[in-house]
Structure 1
Amino acid sequence: MRRRERMVKMPPIDGSMCKTEVAEVEKCMMPECHTIPCMLSPWSDWSECSVTCGRGVRNRQRMLKSDPTECTEELEQTEKCMLPECPMDCMVSEWSEWSECNKSCGKGHTIRTRMIKLEPQFGGSSCPETIQRKKCKIRKCRTKGGGGSKAKASGAVGCRLQPWTSWTDCTISCGGGSQQRLRVAKKRVKGICKDRREIRACNNQPCYY
């Protein structure tokens, strides 16, 4: 508000009061008053990354030193942080079923395999074995003439075998498979001479997709 006044220089001759106003008051507008500024502390140091390896976040804070009714300044900041990649251990599939015994009689072996699904990375634990072998024996091989040393050495009297066939294609192209070869009997003696089969592991390298 503002006010102004004036004085009566000469009152009426009859001694009455002047009827005119000697003071005026009116509203006035001044520039907006300044608000109390936000008083802030310095930013704190950045916190540790939220993870011990790989990608995480970190933050920092500051505090209000004054307490105005409205303060729009941010009091917390967050940013991404990156540490060395996390170690990744080797991952393998479940074991396959045991293969058939590679011999039809006498002592042989059977195998099972499993695939490498993920190679170890960034110092992760190495891969375990991917092939296991164990002994198998279906039945004793019969020999003629009481099983003498000569019969044992030849496998069976009167049993002639063809040369080994080539190895078959591997059952899978990667991750651990198997292949086999046969040796067919030329002359079969009932109950004594039978085809022979061998099985071996193949393509043990991991698959990449």
Structure 2
Amino acid sequence: GWGPWIAWTPCSVTCGGVGVRSRKRVCSIFLIFKLSLSTCPSPVCVSVHGGWSSWFGWSHCSASCISKSGGDAIIPSRVRHRSCSNPSPSNNTSPPGNSCPGDAFQVQHCSELPNCAVDGFWSGWSSWGECSESCISQGRAVRRTRQRSCSNPAPSSNPPGQDCQGHSHQTENCDHLPFCPVDGGWGSWSPFSSCPVTCGVGLQVSVRRCDSPATQHGGRPCPGEGRQTRICSTKVHCPVDGVWSEWSEWKQCKFPGGRNIRCKKTAGSHLRSRHCLHRAHNGTICIGDNLTEMQVCYDIEGCDLKGRRDPWTSWSLCEPPCGKNSIRSRKKICKPEYSGYKSVYQDTANQIMLQ
């Protein structure tokens, strides 16, 4: 048989319309359920305003320490939230229920955290400094430097930050400079050369070069001489070859036997001589055999001879070159006439000799 009806379930709507509710009973023998449905009127709905739940726990801080940027502290934060569910605002009433007043989230600074370690960072490079020299010397580098500091920012001391990596100074060669003038310097003297002669005296030579260093880039040359000499002696006399002296003056023109031929057209003769000089130490004898020479002559010293005038010479230039007292001149030269003498010439002793 059927058991009693179980109580009606709540109406499917609480307000503002018609809902459905149900109840059931059980046949105890066959365990058969019987369901009965029925409509249920609902009262008019009243707006339900929202209410906040309790705050949920704080989240983790957004960072583990307080950092700095450009001098300003960057403090990490944490958040917590709550929901508008105690109760939730009604949305099927007229008017709908109000939402919860205030914010669903709350932010809080983690001011209790320690400061972050700050790693150092380089500042910009400074301008290049002056070169160590004004010109480039051979064998010595000319350099200039620039620097930077680990201050942008500097590493923190507590907690300790890392220093900047790399070098705080930078060096480069001043390759744009001109080369310095190099004055020349003498090298060592060479040994003297061997004596170049086998007899008598000779000249030995020692030289040095301007290469320690050599003159470069407009420098001054080496002062002094690059060659020096000294006399060397073999202690052996060299052969001295003979050389002829100058011919002596012609002797007086004479006739053999002492006959007087002065101012006559009778030919006589005269002599001149020379000597082989300076021969020594088995030197060669003067080349040639003539120690004397004889010449046919006429003795006309102090004799009266007919004269013959040459034509007038050309006029000279005027002296002085201008003015009323300027004069010029020309002349005739009177030369002795040697008619009757055959093929003759006159020497410095005024003796006529046949050629």
TM-score (norm 1): 0.45
TM-score normalised by structure 2 residue count: 0.30
Indicate the structure whose relative CO is greater, using CA pairs within 8 Å and at least 6 residues apart. Answer: 1
CA radius of gyration, larger in: 2
